[in-house]
Amino acid sequence: MHASTAVIAAATQFLTFQTEIDVDDNAPTLNMFRFHFPKLFAELMLARQQAGGFDVEPLNYLHVPVAALSVVGLVLALLFRRRLKIAPQAAALCLVILLALAANAAICGVFAHPADRYQSRLVLLAPLAVTFLIVDWRRTTRLSLASADLT
């Protein structure tokens, strides 16, 4: 039962990466400021962060599809690396990012609970790697076209 729950939690965590900001339960931080920094506490309470919440839902309309497509892109790049002529260093980067996402999902899913914020911090590496792949592909395509024109 524990193993199946761990696998389900890790898989759920791997696919859960919406942006979320939750400062509603900020009592421990506020109490720490009140006790250790009483002169700064009044200024802290005047901050916009304490006055109202953040609406990050519109960001998820962009963030979630881009991240999901990028993770799929990394998997496809690894599967078709020879056909796409992906450099070994680029393939290694894709593999390391996918392993980091899987390890993060396993650790956070098993030892905590699946929550969007845990995976959303790392999933931004996937679009970065896909961008590197596209730039490298365009560079090598341009170089091969230039060398073909010279002959």
- How many domains does the chain contain in total? 1
Q: Which residues, 6 or more positions from 60, have their beta carbon under 8 angstroms from its beta carbon?
A: 18, 19
Residue 48 has a pLDDT of 75
Residue 23 has a pLDDT of 53
pLDDT digits (tens, 9 = 90+) for 92-130: 999 999 999 999 989 888 888 777 778 888 899 999 999
Question: Is residue 28 in a domain?
Answer: no
Question: Is residue 78 in a domain?
Answer: yes
Question: Is residue 88 in a domain?
Answer: yes
Provide the pLDDT confidence category of residue 21 given band limits of 50, 70 and 90: low
Provide the pLDDT confidence category of residue 59 given band limits of 50, 70 and 90: confident
At residue 63's C-alpha, the angle toward residues 49 and 94, to 5°, is 125
**In this prediction, what percent of the chain has a pLDDT beyond 70?**
92
Residue 89 has a pLDDT of 94
Return the HEC string of 22-89: CCCCCHHHHHHHHHHCHHHHHHHHCCHHHHCCCCCHHHHHHHHHHHHHHHHHHHHHHHCCCCCCCCHH
Look up the domain containing 13 and give its range.
Answer: 2-20+56-150
Say if pTM beats, i.e. exceeds, 0.85.
no
Question: Is residue 115 in a domain?
Answer: yes
Question: Is residue 37 in a domain?
Answer: no
